[in-house]
Amino acid sequence: MKHFTSIQDVANPNDLIAPALEIKKTPYSTSQLGMHKTLGLIFFNSSLRTRLSTQKAAQNLGMDVIVMNVSSDGWALEMEDGTVMNGNTAEHIKEAAAVMGQYCDILGVRTFAGLKDRKYDYEEVILNKFKQYANCPILSLESATLHPLQSLADMVTIQELKPNNKSVKSWTRPKVVLTWAPHPKALPQAVANSFCEWITKQDVEFVLTHPENYELAESFSGNAKIEYNQNKAFENADFIYAKNWSSYHNYGQVLSNDESWMITKEKMSFTNNAKFMHCLPVRRNVVVSDDVIDSNNSIVIQQAGNRVFAAQAVLKELLKSIEKNGQ
């Protein structure tokens, strides 16, 4: 595995999911693997879980970690080629990425969609510039269109819960629902896109539910079954994954704030006693009601906890590939 920026970088997702669950049992069993290796975490945007869990994962592997918040610690970077840089940008990504790549053995990059220009966002300009110029493995800490570390943790969490429920018949092939939920702000599609990419590779029944006109990019949601009736989608579900996103087709727009899409106790009652998942941060009583997220069926904290082991499994593979290349 050369980079980890989407499921496309991964030969077989199960080669990360099973190891992550192993790592969870003995997180320090390879605490020398990352010795004398530096992970640079480059933040163009805010982060809590990814910031902390990826640091923790790297430290579990014995890596050194350097954190940089680009805009507050440094300066604005130019992304366009050929520009006469007499404006606000002080350094070109070509130099910045190449230099960071020399100082670090692996570079983690966090960059959100601007939600103004779909073509620009979906071309993953910043992430790809890092891939192009940094000359080291790039680890996505969420990019404009995808959040693979989140999705891997999501898969790990679903996998982890399966054996505990062997008695439930449906769980040999659980029904997993990704449902849109309301939100006051326009949010990227990254978590939803990424979840679709990963879950459709798993042996589950996957249903996507959202208001009309909230269709995700087909390149990610692919052949997922869409059910516009949320209540119907929830029927017999084993996992409800809630997430807001702004419109892909009317790019970046909030087309609906329909409160009836909030995940409530009543909605959950249609399910097969489903687990409630969300990537966090979540707005309570907007996306999900208190009684759902505070219920025993809510696994959002366990899910967030698995971010460490997902990141550690990924870092382990990236370290191995560095080793192989004799770096």
User: Site residues (CB under 8 A) for its own copies?
Assistant: 27-28, 31, 36, 38, 40, 43, 46-49, 51-53, 55-56, 59-60, 64, 66, 68-69, 72-75, 78, 81-87, 89-92, 94-96, 98-100, 102-104, 184, 280-286, 290, 293-294, 300-301, 304-305, 308
Q: How far apart are CA 101 and CA 96, in angstroms?
A: 8
Min dist. Cβ of residue 129 to its own copies (A):
14
Question: Is residue 217 classed exposed, middle or buried when 0-12, 13-18 and 19+ CB atoms within 10 A define those classes?
Answer: middle
Nearer to its own copies, 302 or 321 (CB): 302
Min dist. Cβ of residue 207 to its own copies (A):
26
Min dist. Cβ of residue 221 to its own copies (A):
25
Q: Which long-range contacts (CB under 8 A, 24 or more apart) does 28-35 make?
A: 28/60, 30/61, 30/62, 30/316, 31/60, 31/61, 31/62, 32/62, 33/61, 33/62, 33/316, 33/319, 34/58, 34/61, 34/62, 34/63, 34/315, 34/319, 35/62, 35/63
Min dist. Cβ of residue 17 to its own copies (A):
19
Nearest to 210 by CA among 252, 173, 255: 255
Number of H helices, E strands in the chain: 13, 11
Nearest to 125 by CA among 43, 87, 133: 133
Nearer to its own copies, 184 or 222 (CB): 184
Nearer to its own copies, 14 or 83 (CB): 83
Nearer to its own copies, 211 or 305 (CB): 305
Nearer to its own copies, 92 or 175 (CB): 92
Min dist. Cβ of residue 236 to its own copies (A):
28
Task: Please report, as a single letter, which amino acid is at residue 252.
Answer: G
Nearer to its own copies, 47 or 221 (CB): 47
Contact yes or no for 256/180 (Cβ under 8 A): no
Min dist. Cβ of residue 264 to its own copies (A):
13
Min dist. Cβ of residue 326 to its own copies (A):
15
State phi, psi for 92 to the nearest 5 degrees: -85, 145
Nearer to its own copies, 97 or 268 (CB): 97
String of DSSP letters for 24-91: HH-TTTTTTTTTT-EEEEEESS--SHHHHHHHHHHHHTT-EEEEEEHHHHS--EE-STT----SS--E
Min dist. Cβ of residue 7 to its own copies (A):
24
Nearer to its own copies, 22 or 290 (CB): 290
Nearer to its own copies, 68 or 226 (CB): 68
Question: Is residue 135 classed exposed, middle or buried when 0-12, 13-18 and 19+ CB atoms within 10 A define those classes?
Answer: middle
Please give the structure tokens belonging to residue 98: 């190449």
Min dist. Cβ of residue 142 to its own copies (A):
14
Please give the structure tokens belonging to residue 244: 């807001």
